[in-house]
Amino acid sequence: EVVLTQSPATLSVSPGEGATLTCRASQNVYDYLAWYQRRPGQSPRLLIYGASKRATGIPARFSASGSGTDFTLTITNLEAEDFAVYYCQQRYSWPTITFGQGTRLEIK
Amino acid sequence: QVQLVESGGGVVQPGGSLRLSCVISGFSLDDVGIHWVRQAAGKGLEWVAYRDDDGTSIFYGDSVKGRFSVSTDNSKTTLYLQMSSLRSDDTAVYHCAKDAALDWNGYLDSWGQGTLVIVSS
């Protein structure tokens, strides 16, 4: 099974600043990686797929990069609505998919 | 507007069975695949199962294989997750989610709010 390890577990950042979240895969997943945002009380929202492609309607302040085993999600100019839990997910091992444990982005 | 609404959760004893429903609107089950994903309290997201657009391929996660099964109703507006031989570690919120059908299958772009299953004596 492909294990995704996200770091840090919690990240405290002030509004207006930027944040960088990391996801590391236990084996090469090429660019078959997605990022999701989960706001409190809401379902996950697809932000990024294919490691770096923004999903429909996702603001440009969300960007992502990486391939192989190391991936990052970068959020610039943090807004109040961005404080949430972020998950990475791989589909390289399709039809099985796995998620990371999540990074909680909280207001500092 | 794409919507997925789960129902059918509740409290069930270990070894028991439960059937969850996922009612979809705004798209057709014939067009895209649907996933079931669960999340236990304090844990991460765990993929449970996937049914493809024509129902010819259904896949299950190792932890539920042989115990859970996916089906649809004749109108193709409701997806079911039949769960049997339930264990305490099946306790979770269960979501159905639509496959985004982007470059590749396996990305999930619309999720239901989830239904809570508690396995306890």
Q: What is the pLDDT of residues A25-51, one digit of tens each?
A: 999 999 999 999 999 999 999 999 999
Q: What is the pLDDT of residue B76?
A: 82
Q: Flag if B102 and A49 touch (Cβ within 8 Å).
A: yes
Q: What does the pLDDT average to over B34-63?
A: 95
Q: What is the pLDDT of residue B104?
A: 80
pLDDT exceeds 90 at position B17: yes
Give the lowest-confidence range in A66-70, B12-16, B29-33, B56-60: B29-33
**What share of chain B in percent tops pLDDT 70?**
100
- Cβ-based interface (< 8 Å): residues of A facing B: 1, 32, 34, 36, 43-46, 49-50, 53, 55-56, 87, 89, 91, 94-102
Chain A residues closer than 8 Å to B100 by CB:
46, 49, 55
Reply yes or no on whether the pLDDT at B10 is more than 80.
yes
**Maximum Cα–Cα distance for chain A, whole Å?**
39
Q: What are phi and psi of B40, to 5 degrees?
A: -80, 155
CB contacts < 8 Å between A and B, how many? 68
C-alpha to C-alpha distance for B36 and B61, rounded to whole angstroms: 10
Q: Is the pLDDT of residue B97 over 90?
A: yes
Mean pLDDT of all residues in chain A? Answer: 96
Q: pLDDT digits over A51-71, tens only?
A: 999 999 999 999 999 999 999
Q: What is the pLDDT of residue B74?
A: 80
Q: Chain A contact for B104, CB < 8 A?
A: yes
pLDDT of the residue at B101: 86
DSSP B56: S
- pLDDT band of residue A9 (cuts 50, 70, 90) is very high
Residues from chain B that touch A89, judged by Cβ atoms under 8 A, are 45, 107-108
| B103 pLDDT higher than 80 | no
At B60, the pLDDT band (50, 70, 90 cuts) reads very high
Q: Are B93 and B115 in contact (CB under 8 A)?
A: yes
- The whole-angstrom separation of Cα A23 and Cα A27 is 12
Write the DSSP assignment of A18-50 as a string of letters.
Answer: -EEEEEEESS--TT-EEEEEE-TTS--EEEEET
Predicted pLDDT at B87: 97
pLDDT of residue B106: 93
Contacts of A102 in chain B (CB under 8 A): 44-45
Task: Compute the Cα dihedral for B17, B21, B22, B28 and give only its sign.
Answer: positive
**Of residues B35, B37, B109, nearest to A55 (C-beta):** B109
